[in-house]
A and B are shown apart, each in its own frame.
Chain A
Amino acid sequence: MDKFWERLLTIDRRVIFVVIFLALSVPIFLQIGLPIPVTREVQVLYDSLEDLPRDSKILVSCDFDPGSEPELQPMAEAAFKYFVENDLRFIVIGLWPQGPIQGNRAIEDIDESDDEYIVKDGDTLYFGADLVVVGNDTAWYGIDFINLGFQVGQELVIQRMGTSFEATFPSDRRFGRPQKEFPIMDGIYRLADFDFVFNLSAGYPGTVEWVQFAVDRFHVPVGAANTAVQAPLAYPYLDTGQLSGILGGMKGGAEFEKLVGHQARATMFMTSQTMAHIFVMLFIIVGNIAFFATMKKSDRRGIRE
């Protein structure tokens, strides 16, 4: 029996890799529906968005890169769909260079139109770029949404937005035209003119910096969508009221998708994540049993001491 446990302890790690690969990939094809109860922090964020009146302006800061795409991209897509359906206008920026590109991809991916483009007043307008169709709702670039791109400077960018938004993001990313030419920017002079900030964050600069500068200094409500690794750092700001909700990791994304009524990738990936968690827990249990089974009695005493 001892030999069995010893062999188990020295198992080739490639076996573990194969088990995890299967645990992650098989559930994607099985499409098992799992119950997803909504946690308080996600409900708070959803309620904060629900309380916004029509035509409210939301600043969406995409502070992540493709490494965090599986967790944060579904949240961005669910949020953008919700904004379009509820007549909320959104302005995309990024404190990470890849952030606005990810934001753009989310906008392109939520477009449900079968056509590639339409011609209106002699101009060719592309679906996914110039206009976005979600169900029966349509959002227009420059009127309902805009992408102002990336600005270097980490948290100082947030501070600079506090006094002048135009000085920080002078032009749009797509055409390079002054942002003031777009109707969506009417009435936006500084950070406090936004009704809400939705921050998708995978690290620094991210949610912590948005709380420290946008919330504490300029009193703008901020809701956060974080990777599972980043979320525990943001929790202390929830009870203090500094954060208006957190979407934490894949689970937060799945809960948010459920609330907005667009169950998509985060919900689908939850099955994979659940299976992976189960197998990691099994590995820990088996590893510990094997560890203690192969240990001599004297060694066991030593460890307890």
Chain B
Amino acid sequence: MRREIPLILTGIVGITFFVQFFVPHSPMRELSETFSDWYSIISAFAIWLGGLNLMKISFEKVYKKDKDWFFAVTTIVSFFLILIVGLFFSGGRQYLEQGSGYDWLYRNIYSPLSATMFALLAFFVASASYRAFRARNAQATVLLLAAFIVMAGRTPFGDWITVFLPEGWRLSNLSNVIMNYFNVAGQRAIMIGIALGIVSTSLRIILGIERSHLGGE
């Protein structure tokens, strides 16, 4: 029964969502609304589960003095700091208001750290492009040229260095051509491929053929 009940539930929910997409009327509509609400509630529980799991792993790492255990201490301290400040020292419901303790932590610690992590990409991309972006063969050369045109064309610099060319041949226009035609064609092919994959996997799950999500063998 440990496998059969989840399979039956998956089948019922899957078929309900599938049918109500084409027949948005009673009782499918009400069923779909109920299942959507359940999904939100279960997702909210999953946040708790994720938080507790993170703490369990971090505490174990500190207790066993595993490699880089100090980072686990940082995780634990940060977790409880923001939790305690948010729950008890930020004016209750208005914890997100400007000037609250939670807001201070968000603005002055979380936000700059998060933006910094993302900004580091610029440096790594520059370093990687210098070391690895080589015109080794025809395909790599095409990729390199496309990257050049888009990079230059997405800034005023592109038009500046091609100002002597007719407007249609300037880098900004060539960049738009790559984005609107070549990129769109490639993206569509990928999207259709992914969609077909999702349909077949979903059908396998709904019909109980695919059971790996239930765990076990």
Q: A residues engaging B (CB < 8 A)?
A: 11, 13, 16-17, 19-21, 24, 34-37, 39-40, 65-70, 100-101, 104-105, 108, 128-129, 151-154, 156-157, 159-160, 163-164, 167, 173-176, 217, 228, 232-233, 235-236, 238-239, 249, 251, 270, 273-274, 276-281, 283-284, 286-288, 291, 303-304
User: Which residues of chain A are near B111, meaning CB under 8 Å?
Assistant: 66, 69
Given A66-B115, A287-B134, verify A20-B126 contact (CB < 8 Å). Answer: yes
Complex Cα distance, B97 from A165, in Å, reads 24
User: Binding site of B, secondary structure by majority: helix, strand, loop or mixed?
Assistant: helix
B88 on the interface (CB 8 Å rule)? Answer: no
From A156, A232, A281, A287, contact of B183 by CB (8 A): A232
CB-based contact A288/B135 at 8 Å: yes
Number of cross-chain contacts by CB at 8 Å: 153
- Residues 88 to 127 of chain B near chain A (Cβ within 8 Å): 93-94, 96-98, 106-107, 110-112, 114-115, 117-119, 122-123, 125-127
14 additional contacts (CB under 8 A) given A160-B37, A232-B187: A34-B156, A66-B115, A69-B115, A70-B115, A151-B40, A153-B43, A160-B33, A176-B93, A233-B187, A236-B191, A251-B154, A274-B156, A284-B129, A284-B133
CB-based contact B127/A17 at 8 Å: yes
Complex Cα distance, B129 from A288, in Å, reads 10
Complex Cα distance, B41 from A96, in Å, reads 16
Complex Cα distance, B56 from A204, in Å, reads 27
Which residue of chain A has its CB nearest to the CB of B189?
A236
B53 on the interface (CB 8 Å rule)? Answer: no
Question: What is the CB-to-nearest-CB distance from A21 to chain B, in angstroms, rounded to a whole number?
Answer: 7
B204 on the interface (CB 8 Å rule)? Answer: no
User: Which residues of chain B are near A35, meaning CB under 8 Å?
Assistant: 156, 159
Question: What is the CB-to-nearest-CB distance from A23 to chain B, in angstroms, rounded to a whole number?
Answer: 9
CB-based contact B180/A37 at 8 Å: no
CB-based contact B106/A101 at 8 Å: yes
CB-based contact B130/A286 at 8 Å: yes
CB-based contact A277/B154 at 8 Å: yes
Question: What is the CB-to-nearest-CB distance from A268 to chain B, in angstroms, rounded to a whole number?
Answer: 13
Complex Cα distance, B151 from A192, in Å, reads 39
Q: B residues engaging A (CB < 8 A)?
A: 21, 29, 32-33, 36-37, 39-40, 43-44, 47, 93-94, 96-98, 106-107, 110-112, 114-115, 117-119, 122-123, 125-127, 129-131, 133-137, 144, 147-148, 151-152, 154-157, 159, 172, 176, 179-180, 183-184, 187-188, 191
CB-based contact A39/B126 at 8 Å: no
From A104, A251, A270, contact of B96 by CB (8 A): A104
Given A276-B122, A284-B148, verify A65-B156 contact (CB < 8 Å). Answer: no
Given A66-B114, A69-B115, verify A156-B134 contact (CB < 8 Å). Answer: no
Given A156-B36, A164-B33, A291-B134, verify A283-B126 contact (CB < 8 Å). Answer: yes
User: Which residues of chain A are near B98, meaning CB under 8 Å?
Assistant: 104, 108, 128-129
User: Which residues of chain B are near A175, meaning CB under 8 Å?
Assistant: 93-94
From A167, A233, A288, contact of B134 by CB (8 A): A288
Which residue of chain A has its CB nearest to the CB of B188?
A236
The 8 closest A-B pairs by CB, nearest first: A274-B155, A66-B114, A67-B118, A283-B130, A66-B111, A153-B40, A34-B156, A152-B43
CB-based contact B33/A167 at 8 Å: yes
CB-based contact A16/B127 at 8 Å: yes
